[in-house]
Amino acid sequence: MTHKNMEITELTLTQILKALEEKEFSEEELNSAYVKRAQVLNAGLNAYVTVLEPYEGIPAAIKDVIVTKDVKTTAGSKILENFLPPYSATVIDKLESHNVSVLGKTNCDEFAMGSSGENSAYGVTHNPWDTGKVPGGSSSGSAAAVSGDMCVFALGSDTGGSIRQPASFCGVVGLKPTYGLISRYGLIAYASSLDCVGPIAKSVEDAGQVLEWISGPDGKDSNCSKSFTFSREKIKDGIKGLRVGVPKEYLGEGLEEGVKETIKSALSKLESLGAELIYVDLPHSEYAIAAYYIIATSEASSNLARLDGIRFGGNRDLFGAEVKRRIMLGTFSLSVGYYDDYFARAAKVRTLIIKDFEKAFKKCDIIAGPVSPTVAWNIGAKVNDPLAMYLSDIYTVPANLAGIPGISVPAGFSDGLPVGLQFLGPKWSEEKLLQVAYNYEQSAEWNKQKPNLTVSP
Amino acid sequence: MNNYEPIIGLEVHVELSTRSKMFCSCSADYFGKESNTHTCPVCLGLPGALPVPNKAALENCMKLGLALGCKISDESRFERKNYFYPDLPKGYQISQYRWPLCKSGIVKVRNKIGEVREIRINRVHQEEDTGKLTHSGENTLIDYNRSGVPLVEIVTEPDFRDTEEIRDYAKKIQQICRYLGISNADMEKGDMRLEANVSVRKVTAGHPELVEGSLAHAGPTSVGDSSSTTRNDMLPPYRVELKNINSFRFMVAAVEYEIRRQIEALDKGERLIQETRGWNENKKQTYTQRVKEEANDYRYFADPDLTEMIVDSDSVKKTKEEMQELPVDKQKRFVASYGLSETQAIMLTDTREFADYFEEAVRVGKEYSLQPTKVANTLINKKFNRDEILPAKFVEMLVGEQEKGVLPDEELEKIIAQAITDNPQAVADYKKGKESSVQFLVGQVMKFTHGKADPNRAKELLTEKLSSRV
Ligand SMILES: [Zn+2]
């Protein structure tokens, strides 16, 4: 065992499952190690809104937009400050049936609206690699918790990049699955047609394990009915001859030089593993951000209407500025006289983006590119420029509009900060997606690097 | 004096009597149940909860659409109707707007002078009910037991011209719902709710005065694919919505009052406005509830939580086959197979139970060569409790009477009429108060019929006849 000398909290989920089986340590030891580390580091990172003290099971961190029975679920909002859900999300039930315990609820941008983790009513989460930087968002706390070894793995939600981008900024693996692969029942909705629950993990294999646990049809979610088979063993097959598409649009203007170089060397690495690189076109990518912000805010304006302070929660004046901004944008886009020019037109763009991907996937098996045009920025740098913030989602949003899966894998560093490599695949192609991600990860081993966090006794 | 023509459209809501609610598995039977006991995260609109459609309700909606002559859309969607109200837990109602399940039907009704007129159905769509508010003093209590109960909305074009048509239409909708077994459609219990859009337009020398381009009646509910643009283009520039009237009688009174009020106002040269009015039963008047400056903007959009509903022709065919025979079809069949008159057929098909009783009696009676017309006549004329006497027993009684040679009522009545004409003195005596004169007339009837009449029945009919001849 190579990990005999390692801290329990440094182990991956895969390693922990094996170690537990071999009785190298007990579940209680496992939990107490994580609880201690989470409690200590949270003071500086603010990754958790709530830390529980489980003593058995695999301790996982759950984004606070996923409801947990009798455990406060805030969605990062003041309006739900005292909300105790009377039920658990399907993904929580599924995890619990696989001996996973909820270690805590993680901080996030309010109602998952944000790309930096700064929109939480419970304060900004700090990037474990540099606490002066944002962790990315909206699954800010989940990514930071995994990165800081404050949990074995985490669940996040991805509506426009909210799993992949913070995973990229924090140097961990983040998977946004095919829309409809994982039940949304119990995920507090931001934009229902785009929202996906997914794992944030220490390795690709870990992400695959969690995916296996939480995916599959759910009678409580009308959009989650397809049965799905996924073999974790298959992802270890080699990728010789795999056609990897590189969209020209993803390596153009706006991409930071350091990120570009990192991605380019990652692409060469794939080539050296036997993959064939092909340039592909995604011509409607430039309209994706505009379409996304119309569709997402429109759905959000309706989804957040239930927060009326009557049955639960506080008054609507407790919504933060970004949430109010998006409710107004969405309300406007759906109004009579604007619907056709905004919502209906955005829906047409969405169709074009779906077709772009369908065409591209005729030429390649998997698409590769950057997750974000930049690495993590300074806390506060973009808070007064919502448009600049919105543009940071440019490479992640198209996958949500198309409903296809995407994964962010650590690909190196730029200015000392993690850079994520993104793979995108056709719908239901998780096996292939994880296969290429696994092969890349194993060859590069960037995930072995850990941020320098000191836990003073 | 100007001539005016009322233009009325109806929106009818029918609550379906399915076992569970529209989008969750809570019981839909909320009547008289303890408040907020039939609730779950879905019908309480809790964060994270998602709707899953009730297939039985959709099938019932489809049945109703088919019964009203609608086309079933191969592709339809649930949509969100967004507005804030405390009885609406999600802040939107799941309904249908651009893509209703059933479109473009026809219902035939009779007007005041007995003519048959066609009312066009714009749509029949599926939605969900809201919770129920109870105001007590300063407080308002909310009961979410009703929240999410399946509701079907039937929207007509503005084709009604008098209240008799409305009466007939509402009765037909109720009858069809009961026939299909999809709802009790009881207005007093709130199973069936009516809203009317009323306006009047001037008719000059047989040509209505047209207001071009006005779409006052084409509110949000008729945006669908309206095949009636030509007629809609000629509607008055306003409409008054009559709402929250929970009795059928009051609704008719309110519509009649509105027609008079609007005509008087127009005659005085007043301008009528778009508004919602209610009914004050004490004053027998309608009153303003809400004046609309602009149409409500419900910001409808397809509900992303629910997938598109694809209905193929096979399942429409299957639903049609499973459907109960409708009143109109039953009437036609009764006329064709049993030789009944149209009036008899209509009376016997008033309820499905009555029609079934009749057919069962005919079936049993066949063994005794009992004529269906005879069964029909007796059932229509003789009032008795059908719950107590089963059809077989009823037939047995009828056959017994026939074997005894007892004269049927219609023949007996002819003889009674004759006896009355032939014995003016006895009739006069009876009118003066000599009760025993009836006995004399009964004797006469028995004599005419050679003892084949039932003396008790003869006395009954005689007394009836004599008392009516004042
Ligand atoms: Zn319910």
Assign residue B414 the CATH number of its domain.
Answer: 1.10.10.410
| Among candidate residues B263, B297, B315, the one where a domain is terminated | B315
Distance CA B109, CA A51 (A): 68
Distance CA A139, CA A162 (A): 5
Inter-chain touch A222–B44, beta carbons under 8 Å: no
Q: Tell me whether residue A452 is in a domain.
A: no
3-state secondary structure of B254: helix
In which element (H, E) is residue B324 found?
A: none
Q: How confident is the model at residue B391 (pLDDT cuts 50, 70, 90)?
A: confident
Are B252 and B297 part of one and the same domain? yes
Bigger pLDDT: A304 vs B296: A304
pLDDT value at position A347?
Answer: 97
**Do A424 and A406 touch, CB atoms closer than 8 A?**
yes
Average pLDDT, integer, range A18-47: 96
Average pLDDT, integer, range B269-280: 88
Cβ neighbours of residue B290 closer than 8 Å, sequence gap 6 or more = B275, B276
Are B131 and B153 part of one and the same domain? yes
Are B178 and B288 part of one and the same domain? yes
| Among candidate residues B315, B335, B360, the one where a domain is terminated | B315
CA distance A343 to chain B (A): 9
Backbone angles phi, psi at B15, to 5 degrees: -85, 125
Task: Answer whether residue B239 shows pLDDT above 60.
Answer: yes
Place of tokens 């066949």: B366
Q: Could you report the per-residue pLDDT of B49-106, keeping only the tens digit for each?
A: 999 999 999 999 999 999 999 999 999 999 999 999 999 999 999 999 999 999 999 9
Query: How many whole angstroms from B38 Cα to the centroid of ligand 1?
Result: 6
CA distance B47 to chain A (A): 5
A423 burial (CB, 10 Å; 0-12 / 13-18 / 19+) is buried
Least confident piece of the model among B118-122, B160-164, B216-220: B216-220
| CB < 8 Å to B91, chain A | 302, 304-308
Are B266 and B350 part of one and the same domain? no
Nearest residue, CB atoms, A86 vs list B41, B53, B301: B41
pLDDT value at position A2?
Answer: 46
The domain that holds A108 is classified in CATH as: 3.90.1300.10
Bigger pLDDT: A62 vs A392: A62
Place of tokens 């009823």: B394
**Do B150 and B129 touch, CB atoms closer than 8 A?**
yes
Task: Answer whether residue A206 shows pLDDT above 70.
Answer: yes
For A306, the closest chain B residue by CA position comes to: B90
For B140, the closest chain A residue by CA position comes to: A310
| CB < 8 Å to B52, chain A | 219-222
Q: Tell me whether residue B320 is in a domain.
A: no
Report the first-to-last Cα separation within chain A, whole angstroms.
Answer: 27
Residue window 55-94, chain B: list those with CB within 8 Å of chain A. Answer: 80, 82, 84, 86, 89-92
Place of tokens 């998997």: A366
CA atoms within 13 A on the CB side of A135: 38
Query: How many whole angstroms from A61 Cα to the centroid of ligand 1?
Result: 29
Q: Tell me whether residue B233 is in a domain.
A: yes
In which element (H, E) is residue A395 found?
A: none
Range of the domain at B419: 409-469
Q: A264-289 burial by CB neighbour count: b if 16+ within 10 A, else e?
A: eebbebbeebebeeeebebebbebbb
| CB < 8 Å to A222, chain B | 50-53, 305-307
Q: B33-45 burial by CB neighbour count: b if 16+ within 10 A, else e?
A: eeeeebbbbbbbb
- Best of A83, A302, A345, A350 to substitute, by most chain B Cβ atoms within 10 angstroms, is A302
- Best of B20, B25, B42, B50 to substitute, by most chain A Cβ atoms within 10 angstroms, is B50
Q: Tell me whether residue A274 is in a domain.
A: yes
Task: Answer whether residue A226 shows pLDDT above 50.
Answer: yes
Are B400 and B417 part of one and the same domain? no
Q: Tell me whether residue A454 is in a domain.
A: no
Nearest residue, CB atoms, A222 vs list B53, B91, B301: B53
Nearest residue, CB atoms, B297 vs list A66, A299, A336: A336
Chains A & B: contacts with CB separation below 8 Å: 99
Cβ neighbours of residue B115 closer than 8 Å, sequence gap 6 or more = none
> In sequence order, what are the beta bridge partners of A66?
A187
**Chain A contact for B49, CB < 8 A?**
yes
Are B84 and B207 part of one and the same domain? yes
Q: Tell me whether residue B170 is in a domain.
A: yes
pLDDT value at position A235?
Answer: 95
Q: Could you report the per-residue pLDDT of A94-117, keeping only the tens digit for each?
A: 999 999 999 999 999 999 999 999
Average pLDDT, integer, range A330-349: 94
Least confident piece of the model among A408-417, B143-152, B310-319: B310-319
Average pLDDT, integer, range A223-248: 93
Catalytic (active-site) positions of A: 63, 138, 162
Place of tokens 């071009």: B212
Task: Answer whether residue A1 shows pLDDT above 50.
Answer: no
Task: Answer whether residue A5 shows pLDDT above 90.
Answer: no
Are B306 and B351 part of one and the same domain? no
pLDDT value at position B359?
Answer: 87
Q: Tell me whether residue B33 is in a domain.
A: yes
Q: How confident is the model at residue B207 (pLDDT cuts 50, 70, 90)?
A: low
Task: Answer whether residue A241 shows pLDDT above 70.
Answer: yes
Q: How confident is the model at residue A119 (pLDDT cuts 50, 70, 90)?
A: very high
Q: Tell me whether residue A457 is in a domain.
A: no
Task: Answer whether residue A183 shows pLDDT above 50.
Answer: yes
| CB < 8 Å to B46, chain A | 67, 85-87, 306, 311-312
pLDDT value at position B219?
Answer: 44
Average pLDDT, integer, range B180-205: 88
**Do B372 and B361 touch, CB atoms closer than 8 A?**
no
Q: Report the mean per-residue pLDDT for chain A.
A: 95
**Chain B contact for A43, CB < 8 A?**
no
Are B117 and B235 part of one and the same domain? yes
**Chain A contact for B141, CB < 8 A?**
no
Q: A186-208 burial by CB neighbour count: b if 16+ within 10 A, else e?
A: bbbbbbbbbbbbbbbbbbbbbbb
DSSP state of B447: H
pLDDT value at position B231?
Answer: 47
Helices (H) then strands (E): counts for chain A: 13, 11
Amino acid (one-letter) located at B262: Q
Are B432 and B338 part of one and the same domain? no
Distance CA B201, CA B203 (A): 6
CA distance A403 to chain B (A): 13
Average pLDDT, integer, range B324-333: 91
Task: Answer whether residue B204 shows pLDDT above 80.
Answer: no
Query: How many whole angstroms from A429 Cα to the centroid of ligand 1?
Result: 35
Bigger pLDDT: B84 vs B469: B84
Range of the domain at A398: 2-443
Q: How confident is the model at residue A388 (pLDDT cuts 50, 70, 90)?
A: confident
Distance CA A246, CA B223 (A): 45
β-pairing, B150-156 with B132-136?
A: unpaired
3-state secondary structure of A62: strand
Q: How confident is the model at residue B405 (pLDDT cuts 50, 70, 90)?
A: low
Domain count, chain A: 1
Of all residues in chain B, the percent with pLDDT exceeding 90 is: 49
pLDDT value at position B436?
Answer: 81
Task: Put residue B252 in one of left, alpha, beta given phi > 0 → left and psi -120 to 50 → alpha.
Answer: alpha
Q: Tell me whether residue A83 is in a domain.
A: yes
Q: Tell me whether residue A449 is in a domain.
A: no
In which element (H, E) is residue A240 found?
A: none
In the structure encoding, which two tokens stand for residue A342, read together? 């905004």
Are B259 and B294 part of one and the same domain? yes
| Among candidate residues B268, B287, B315, the one where a domain is terminated | B315
Inter-chain touch B45–A311, beta carbons under 8 Å: yes
CA distance B303 to chain A (A): 9
Nearest residue, CB atoms, B50 vs list A191, A222, A343: A222
Q: Find, among A320, A328, A397, A290, the residue nearest to A118 by Cα.
A: A320
pLDDT value at position B398?
Answer: 76
Q: What is the ipTM of this complex?
A: 0.95
pLDDT value at position B218?
Answer: 43
For A66, the closest chain B residue by CA position comes to: B48
Torsion of CA B465, B468, B469, B470, to 10 degrees: 150
Are B262 and B131 part of one and the same domain? yes
| CB < 8 Å to B50, chain A | 184-185, 220-222
Q: How confident is the model at residue B295 (pLDDT cuts 50, 70, 90)?
A: low
Query: Cα A388 from chain centroid?
Result: 20
Nearest residue, CB atoms, A222 vs list B49, B52, B91: B52
CA distance A187 to chain B (A): 5
Q: Tell me whether residue B175 is in a domain.
A: yes
Q: Could you report the per-residue pLDDT of A47-82, keeping only the tens digit for each?
A: 999 999 999 999 999 999 999 999 999 999 999 999
Q: How confident is the model at residue A3 (pLDDT cuts 50, 70, 90)?
A: low
Inter-chain touch A305–B46, beta carbons under 8 Å: no
Q: Could you report the per-residue pLDDT of B411-455, keeping only the tens digit for each?
A: 888 888 888 888 888 888 888 888 888 888 888 887 877 767 777
Distance CA B307, CA B52 (A): 10
Q: Is the peptide bond before A138 cis (omega within 30 degrees of 0)?
A: yes
Q: Report the mean per-residue pLDDT for chain B.
A: 86
pLDDT value at position B406?
Answer: 67
Distance CA A424, CA A168 (A): 14
For A344, the closest chain B residue by CA position comes to: B301
Q: Tell me whether residue A448 is in a domain.
A: no
Are B370 and B388 part of one and the same domain? yes
Distance CA B160, CA A175 (A): 59
Distance CA B205, CA B199 (A): 20
Task: Answer whether residue B223 shows pLDDT above 50.
Answer: no
- Best of A84, A195, A222 to substitute, by most chain B Cβ atoms within 10 angstroms, is A222
| CB < 8 Å to B308, chain A | none
Q: Tell me whether residue A133 is in a domain.
A: yes
pLDDT value at position B1?
Answer: 52
Residue window 200-229, chain A: list those with CB within 8 Å of chain B. Answer: 219-223
Inter-chain touch A192–B304, beta carbons under 8 Å: yes
Domain count, chain B: 3
| CB < 8 Å to B223, chain A | none
**Chain A contact for B354, CB < 8 A?**
no
**Do B174 and B192 touch, CB atoms closer than 8 A?**
yes
Least confident piece of the model among A123-127, B146-150, B424-428: B424-428
**Chain B contact for A305, CB < 8 A?**
yes
**Do A79 and A319 touch, CB atoms closer than 8 A?**
yes
